[in-house]
Structure 1
Amino acid sequence: MPIRIPDALPATAALENENIFVMTEHRAMHQDIRPLRLLLLNLMPTKITTETQILRKLSNTPLQVEVELLQTASHDSKNTAAEHLETFYTTFDAVRDEHFDGLIITGAPVERLEFEAVDYWPELCEIMEWSKTHVHSTLHICWGAQAGIYYHYGVPKHELPEKMFGVFPHEVVKRTSPLVRGFDDRFFAPHSRFTEVRAADIEAHPALELIAVSDEAGVYVAKSTDSQNFFVFGHPEYDRETLKAEYDRDIAKGMSIAVPVHYFPDDDPTREPVSTWFSCAQLLYTNWLNYYVYQTTPYDITRAGQLS
C-alpha cells in the first residue's frame, strides 16, 4: 500500500525512482478509507536526507499513511533551507489540538549535552507530554530514544569513552515481541552516538522491557509494557552511505575519529561500504506500524492516545 506525502516534497521523486508506491495528495483525496496519520518530528540537521530515509521505511504498510512533518519552533535550523521548512513543515502550535495514530521522534547531534541544556528541550518535553493523550504509539530514534526514555521513565544516559560508530551485531532477547517478528537470530544495525542507555536501568523499571541488545553496542530496542512508547537507540533508517558521509565529514574537519566498525570491507574506508541491516530495519518499521499502530489504533482518530 502507498505512503501519502506532499506532491512536491523532495523525497517524492527519490522514492518513485525506487519503485516505492507514493500516493499524491490529489489521488489520496479520492479514496474513501481513513489513512494512518503519522507525525514525524525531525530533529536532525540534514532534514531532507532524514525525511527520505524514514519515509522509505514507512512505505511498506497495510494501509495508506499520511505523514505530517514537524519541526521545533524554538530552534533555528541552519542546514535546511527556510523555504523547504516553510513549505513542508508545521509547528507544534498548529497540531496540538489534533490526534495522530503514530509519532516518530528522530535523533539529533546533541547527545553530549545534558538534556536540559538543549535549547528546544522545554518544547520537546511539551510534545512528549502531549503525546500521552494525543498519539496512539510513539517511536523514538537514537537521541530521541534517550530523550524519551529519560522524560517518560527517568532512565538516564551515560557518556561513552569513545563514539559508538559502525554497524554492530545484535540479538533478540524477547523473541515473542511482534516488533521483531521475522528477525534473524543475529541481525545488524548502525549506531552513531557518544552516549548510551544501560540495560540494567531498563530492566529495573517495571514499565519497560528489553527487546534487542548487542554485546558491543549495548541496548538497541526497548519498549514500554503498554506499547505506547518504543525506543530504538541506533539508526535503522540509515542508507548505505550515511556512516561514510559522517566519517568523511569529520575527517575533513580534522577530527580524530575511528573508522566505523563492521562497515567497510576489512575496515578499509577506501572501499565501498556493504549494507547488512536493510531487511531487519524495514521489518522494524513495518512491524511497528502493523502490530502497534494499524491493528490497535481506534478508527475514531479523536480517541487516539486515550488510554482505556
Structure 2
Amino acid sequence: MPDKRRRTPMPIRIPKGLPALSTLEMEGVMVMDEEGPACRHHRPLRIGLLNLMPNKIDTETQIARLLGATPLQVELTLVKTSSYVPRNTSSEHIASFYRDWSDIREQKFDGFIITGAPIETMPFEAVAYWDELTHIFRWTQTNVHSCLNICWGAQAAMHYFHGMPRYLLDEKAFGVFRHHGLDNASPYLKGFPDDFHIPVSRWMEMRHVDIPPDSGISVLIDSPETGICLLNDPRHRALHIFNHIEYDATTLADEYFRDRNAGRSIHLPRNYFPEDCETRHPINRWRGHAHLLFGNWINRIFQTAPADLVTIGNE
C-alpha cells in the first residue's frame, strides 16, 4: 500500500536576523534561524547561494522562499566572492550574513546556486571576479553534489565548462514569454505542463547549435521567442537556467522603472503589465512553476546525495 501520510513541510534555516525572515513568515514559509535545532530524522540539506545580484536582499528572499517551500529541511549559506566588494548592498548586511568563498571552500554542500549579475554584456575575462569564479566552478566539481546556475551565472558556467559563445541581441529579451518542456521524463520537470510562462531579462543568448554534441547536455525547456532556457548538464551535476523563474511579480517592473528613470534604452516588458498599462499591477503566472522546479531540484538532491556530507565529491 502506498504511504498516504501527509508530508509535513520542513523549515529552511537561514542566518539569524536576515531581512527575508519577516517576509517569509508572513507568506507562511516555515523558517528557523541557524541556532534552531536540526531535524532529528535526517540531516538538513546544505545549500550555498553565491549571490551576484545587485539587490541582494530581494534575491535572498526570492531564493529562500522557493527553497523553504519544499518538504525537506534546508540550511542556507549566503556566499560572496572574496575578490570583489559589493557596492549596492550595505557593508553591514554583507558582514552580518555573508561568508567569503575563501572561508568556506573546504566545506561540502549538497547544492550550490550561482545567480545572475548585472554585467551581462561584458566579456567574461573582463569581469573583476572572473578568476575567482573559475576557481569556484572547479571547486563545485569536488565539493558540491548539484549546482543550479541562473542567467549570467548559467552563461558563465556554459562558457567555462563547454566553451560556448554568447550573442548580443538586437534588443533586450524582456518580459514574460511562453516556454515548452522538452523532456517529460526528466525528474526536474515533474509536474510541469507542456506550455507555461517564465520571466526573461537579458541582452545575451546562447544557442542550440553551439551545444557540443559530445557534452551530454540536454535541453529541458526552451521558448519559440527567446530560445533555450534550461539545460541539464549531468557530467558537471548542474542545471543551467538562462531566465528568471525565481523573480517576484514586480521584479521586471522594478527593472523597467529603474532603467527608464536612469535614461537607459528600455522597452515595456512584453506580456507583463495587464493591457500593457504600466500603472496596473502585473499578474504572476510563473510562481507555481518556480516552486516546481526548485522543489524537483531539492528532491533530486535528497534522492541522490550521499548520506554523509564528507563523501560529496567522491561519488
TM-score range, shorter-chain basis?
Answer: over 0.9
In the aligned structure 2, how far is the partner of 1:271 from the partner of 1:26? 42
The CA deviation at 1:201 is: 1.7
In the aligned structure 1, how far is the partner of 2:308 from the partner of 2:144? 12
The CA deviation at 1:227 is: 6.6
Q: Secondary structure at the match of 2:211?
A: helix
**What amino acid is the match of 2:302?**
Y
* Structure 1 residue aligned with 2:55: 46
* Structure 2 residue aligned with 1:66: 75
- Of 22-31 and 56-65, deviating more is 22-31
Cα offsets for 1:127-165 (capped at 9, x unmatched): 010000000000000000000111112122111111010
Structure 1 position 258 matched with structure 2 position 267: yes
Contact 1:203–1:209, Cα closer than 8 Å, also in 2: no
* Structure 1 residue aligned with 2:308: 300
Structure 1 position 25 matched with structure 2 position 30: no
In the aligned structure 2, how far is the partner of 1:161 from the partner of 1:28? 52
In the aligned structure 2, how far is the partner of 1:262 from the partner of 1:205? 37
The CA deviation at 1:205 is: 4.3
* Structure 1 residue aligned with 2:3: none
In the aligned structure 2, how far is the partner of 1:289 from the partner of 1:157? 29
In the aligned structure 2, how far is the partner of 1:255 from the partner of 1:87? 33
2:94 to 85, 94, 119: 85
The CA deviation at 1:30 is: 7.4
* Structure 2 residue aligned with 1:270: 279
Contact 1:202–1:210, Cα closer than 8 Å, also in 2: no
**What amino acid is the match of 2:242?**
F
In the aligned structure 1, how far is the partner of 2:151 from the partner of 2:78? 18
**What amino acid is the match of 1:25?**
E
The CA deviation at 1:60 is: 2.0
1:4 to 13, 32, 44: 13
Q: Secondary structure at the match of 2:120?
A: coil
**What amino acid is the match of 2:152?**
W
Cα offsets for 1:217-246 (capped at 9, x unmatched): 111100113470110000111000000000
Q: Secondary structure at the match of 1:290?
A: helix
Contact 1:136–1:306, Cα closer than 8 Å, also in 2: no
What pairs up with 1:226-237 in 2 under 5 angstroms?
A: 226=235, 228-237=237-246
Q: Secondary structure at the match of 1:53?
A: helix
Structure 1 position 144 matched with structure 2 position 153: yes
In the aligned structure 2, how far is the partner of 1:25 from the partner of 1:118? 33
* Structure 2 residue aligned with 1:246: 255
- Of 121-130 and 28-37, deviating more is 28-37
Indicate the RMSD between aligned Cα atoms, in angstroms.
1.3
The CA deviation at 1:25 is: 2.5
2:142 to 133, 138, 143: 133
In the aligned structure 2, how far is the partner of 1:16 from the partner of 1:174? 35
The CA deviation at 1:204 is: 3.0
In the aligned structure 2, how far is the partner of 1:29 from the partner of 1:7? 15
What pairs up with 1:74-223 in 2 under 5 angstroms?
A: 74-202=83-211, 204-223=213-232
In the aligned structure 1, how far is the partner of 2:280 from the partner of 2:313? 47
Q: How many residue pairs are counted as aligned between the two chains? A: 306
Cα offsets for 1:188-236 (capped at 9, x unmatched): 1001000011122226343211001000011110011347011000011
Structure 1, unpaired ranges of 5+: none
Structure 2, unpaired ranges of 5+: 1-9
